[in-house]
């Protein structure tokens, strides 16, 4: 078997995130991903996975692998991407999020709508509690939970001067059990590692963190792997058998 290259944008928000544009519905996301030639995207709303499955269905119909998960705000207010393979894992993780997100109602006027829509982009539900709050679980508790369920844990935009593991904790804990680190579009991996050589052991991804449709695919990573599956995605993060990730902007 030969390595193939797959274009991946693994961080974006939908209409479920209060900050996500109302155009970020399932159909628009998939059609924009197709236009951009993306093979793989990840749906990562703030502290909620409820928009994942409908986009996965549309993705399957269009030959795009949709990785499901959430961008979780840890107790320290560090944003972390958490990804899962199966519906059962997603459901277990959603239960965990529901249990640990504070019950502070969303104020739509101030923060924006938190919509769950179906594949025809009709509103089915609204998330009642403000999703941009922090859950009451610290970073270690969070990655332990993600790994216990069988998911992948990737601290988001670690170079960002706010809401990142590095801004909140000063530096990445040396014993952090992360499956990769995400850097934002504002830095290259080379420039980042020049400043933080102690992070060399990690795999890196770079993604758009799109809140608007036109930004989908603006920043992406190329996954060199044998097939387009979640398991291959996981193995590529680990660099198994020659698989590797190339960062593109």
Partner 1 sequence: MKVKELVEKLNLTVISGEKGLDREIDGCYVSDLLSDVMGNADMGNVWVTLQTHKNVMAIASLKELSCVVFVKNLNPAEETIEQSNEEDIPLLSTSMQTYEVVGKIYQLLNS
Residue 85: C-alpha distances to residues 89, 109, 147, 201, 231 (Å):
7, 35, 12, 24, 8
Does 76 engage in binding with partner 1 (CB under 8 A)?
yes
Nearer to partner 1, 8 or 156 (CB): 156
b/e map of 211-224 (b: 16 or more CB within 10 Å)? bebebbbebbbebe
Does 133 engage in binding with partner 1 (CB under 8 A)?
no
Structure tokens at 112: 């924006």
Of the candidates 104, 171, 240, 246, which one interacts with partner 1 according to CB under 8 A?
171
Sign of the CA dihedral running 120, 47, 42, 188:
positive
Q: What is the size of the binding site for partner 1 (CB under 8 A)?
A: 12
Gap between the Cα atoms of 139 and 145, Å rounded: 10
Q: What is the DSSP letter of 211?
A: S
Least separation in angstroms between CB 175 and partner 1: 9
Gap between the Cα atoms of 218 and 224, Å rounded: 19
Encoded one letter per residue, x for contact with partner 1 by CB under 8 A and - for no contact, window 143-162 reads ------------------x-
Does 142 engage in binding with partner 1 (CB under 8 A)?
no
Least separation in angstroms between CB 169 and partner 1: 4
Stretch of residues binding partner 1 (CB under 8 A), selected from 35-43, 92-100, 166-174, 197-205 = 166-174
Of the candidates 128, 173, 239, 242, which one interacts with partner 1 according to CB under 8 A?
173
| Paired residues of 8 in beta bridges | 40, 221
Stretch of residues binding partner 1 (CB under 8 A), selected from 21-29, 58-66, 135-143, 201-209 = 135-143
Does 198 engage in binding with partner 1 (CB under 8 A)?
no
Gap between the Cα atoms of 164 and 86, Å rounded: 27
Least separation in angstroms between CB 157 and partner 1: 14
Does 119 engage in binding with partner 1 (CB under 8 A)?
no
Gap between the Cα atoms of 108 and 175, Å rounded: 39
Does 178 engage in binding with partner 1 (CB under 8 A)?
no
> Beta strand 181-183 with 152-155: parallel, antiparallel or unpaired?
unpaired
Does 102 engage in binding with partner 1 (CB under 8 A)?
no
Distance of CA 98 to the CA centre of its chain: 18
Least separation in angstroms between CB 170 and partner 1: 3
């Amino acid at each position: 078997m030969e390595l193939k290259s797959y274009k991946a944008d693994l961080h974006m928000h939908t209409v479920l995130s209060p900050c996500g544009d109302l155009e970020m519905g399932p159909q628009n996301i998939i059609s924009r991903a197709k236009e951009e030639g993306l093979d793989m995207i990840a749906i990562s709303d703030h502290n909620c996975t409820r928009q994942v499955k409908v986009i996965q269905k549309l993705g399957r119909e269009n030959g795009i692998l949709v990785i499901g998960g959430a961008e979780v705000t840890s107790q320290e207010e560090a944003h972390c991407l958490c990804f899962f393979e199966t519906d059962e894992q997603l459901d277990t993780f959603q239960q965990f999020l529901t249990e640990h997100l504070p019950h502070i109602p969303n104020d739509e006027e101030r923060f924006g709508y938190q919509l769950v829509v179906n594949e025809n982009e009709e509103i089915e539900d609204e998330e009642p509690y403000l999703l941009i709050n922090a859950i009451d679980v610290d970073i270690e508790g969070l990655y332990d939970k993600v790994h216990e369920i069988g998911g992948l844990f990737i601290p988001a935009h670690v170079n960002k001067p706010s809401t990142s593991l590095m801004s909140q904790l000063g530096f990445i804990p040396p014993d952090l059990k992360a499956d990769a680190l995400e850097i934002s579009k504002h830095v290259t991996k080379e420039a980042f590692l020049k400043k933080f050589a102690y992070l060399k052991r990690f795999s890196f991804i770079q993604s758009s963190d799109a809140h608007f449709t036109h930004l989908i695919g603006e920043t992406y990573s190329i996954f060199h792997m044998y097939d387009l599956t979640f398991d291959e995605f996981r193995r590529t993060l680990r660099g198994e058998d020659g698989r590797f990730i190339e960062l593109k902007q």
